Every structure is written in C-alpha cells, then in structure tokens.
C-alpha cells in the first residue's frame, strides 16, 4: 500500500512521498493528481536518496509531464523532509532537475534560496504588451499589467504554446505585488506559482520598480515574500500539511 501526504503551499497543492529508488512515475502522477478519482493536486513529488545531498526529487505535473523546478513545491518538500527525518536541524538541501536547493523550515514557515534567474529575452511583444522571458528554474513569460484582472486565459494559453513557457502578469500596488500565472503541465491558471512569482519580481526589481524585500500576493490571496540580498534570491511563505492517506485504489506494481 502506498502512503502519501498532501501539502498546500499558497494554493499550489502537491502529493508527496519518498521511495528508495528512482523510476519513471509519470503515469502514477496522472492517477494521483486526478481531482475526481485520485488525491487531487497540481503536482506529485517523490523524494529519493542521494549520496551528496539530503535527497533528490522527482517532480511531475498533474498531466504526468516532468518539470525541473517548482518554487512552492520546494517549500512543501522541505517541510515534509524535516517531518520524516530525511533532513534535520530545520534545514533541507536537495537536488532538483534545475540544480541544488536549500530551504530553512521554521514551523510551518519555509524560506527557499532560489536558483539564480536568467533573463533570456527582454524584447518580446505580444498582444500589445512587452514581455520578458526569464528562467527561474523553468521558463516564464512576464509582463506588467495595468490591473490584475487583465489576465485573459486564451491569450495565456496561446503564449504558453508558442514559447513553451509559463505565462505571468503582475500588478504593482505601492510596495506590494500581485501575480497571476498560467502553468505548463496543469494547462490552466493556478492559485500560486513560486517560480512565476520570482520571475515577476526579477523583472520589476531589475527595472527599479520594487524594493529588495517585497510582499507578493498570488491568486490565492496568501501573503508571500521575495527578497534580493547581495545577488541571492529568497522566497518565503507558509505551507500546510493537509492530510496523510493510504492509497487503496488498485495501482499496478510497475507504476509504484
């Protein structure tokens, strides 16, 4: 029987478990992430052993595709690793497909040291808006909007397919930022996206429009924060362990 834990991180939800070996679990991810016949989640994360770090992760989107990085998942997984003794002393260091991540866990509040972002293109023009393409572990198109309601799903879907990237708009309100994201693999808007929030922050910060430490509000409405400190980017917020469940559905052994 497979035991999984469901986590929520600012509206992004994940099915998490650990195993002794790596394998392709894309079909299992589609089963468990299904919101009608499975657990229901935006993604599935499996922790496996690594000789140099606390663990290595396998990350799957809800459609079974893989992703190199997910900011909110890093926070949820770090909390899970501390709870299960995979990481100790409130700190987790682990390998993702995009590189090594460090996170600090203080109760339910988790801060991730994000990977160094890469600005790929500052001159994309689509739908009469200027977009930046930024890699924060995965690629994101980002533009500043006049209002946060300027999120048009058909446009987001077209851009996602054209550039094979997540698509974000952000709105600046005094010293705060609001962000909305269309995510690959989920193929819809999600309640939050950590790498999308970071990409939005990078653009606004690079243009001098926002402070080094900024409160950010995704669609879920939960307050998060991002920080730029001497070349390093941090991303913090609360996570919640929703439940632990034994999967009783008949799943072929070759998928586990």
Distance of CA 170 to the CA centre of its chain: 17
Q: Record the tokens describing residue 107, joined without a space.
A: 């109760």
Which SS3 state, helix, strand or coil, does residue 127 take? Answer: coil
Active site residue 33: no
**Residues whose CB is less than 8 angstroms from the CB of residue 253 and which lie 6 or more positions away in sequence, other chains included:** none
Whether the Cβ atoms of residue 108 and residue 135 lie closer than 8 Å to each other: no
Q: How many CB atoms lie within 10 A of CB 144?
A: 20
Active site residue 70: yes
Catalytic residue among 193, 210, 224, 239: 193
Catalytic residue among 70, 103, 110, 198: 70
**Residues whose CB is less than 8 angstroms from the CB of residue 222 and which lie 6 or more positions away in sequence, other chains included:** 10, 11, 192, 237, 238
Dist. CA 256–CA 254, nearest whole Å = 6
Identify the helix (H) or strand (E) that includes residue 160. Answer: helix 153-163
Q: Record the tokens describing residue 179, joined without a space.
A: 């962000």
Query: Tokens 């009469």 correspond to what residue?
Result: 128
Dist. CA 177–CA 167, nearest whole Å = 16
Residue numbers annotated as active site: 70, 193
């Amino acid at each position: 029987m497979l035991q999984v834990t469901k986590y929520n991180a600012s509206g992004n939800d994940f099915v998490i478990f650990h195993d002794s070996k790596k394998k392709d679990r894309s079909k299992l991810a589609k089963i468990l992430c299904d919101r009608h016949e499975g657990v229901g989640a935006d993604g599935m994360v499996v922790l496996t052993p690594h000789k140099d770090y606390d663990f290595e992760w396998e990350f799957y989107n809800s459609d079974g595709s893989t992703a190199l990085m997910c900011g909110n998942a890093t926070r949820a997984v770090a909390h899970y690793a501390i709870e299960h003794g995979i990481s100790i002393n409130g700190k987790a260091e682990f390998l993702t497909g995009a590189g090594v991540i460090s996170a600090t866990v203080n109760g339910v509040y988790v801060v991730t040291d994000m990977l160094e972002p890469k600005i790929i293109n500052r001159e994309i023009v689509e739908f009469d808006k200027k977009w930046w393409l930024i890699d924060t572990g995965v690629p994101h198109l980002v533009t500043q909007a006049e209002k946060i309601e300027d999120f048009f799903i058909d446009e987001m879907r077209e851009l996602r397919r054209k550039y094979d990237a997540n698509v974000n708009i952000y709105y600046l309100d005094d010293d705060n930022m609001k962000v909305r994201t269309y995510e690959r693999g989920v193929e819809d808007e999600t309640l939050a996206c950590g790498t999308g929030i970071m990409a939005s922050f990078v653009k606004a910060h690079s243009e001098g429009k926002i402070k080094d430490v900024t409160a950010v509000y995704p669609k879920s409405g939960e307050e998060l924060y991002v920080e730029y400190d001497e070349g390093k980017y941090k991303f913090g917020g609360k996570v919640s362990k929703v439940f632990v469940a034994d999967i009783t559905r008949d799943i072929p052994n070759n998928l586990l």
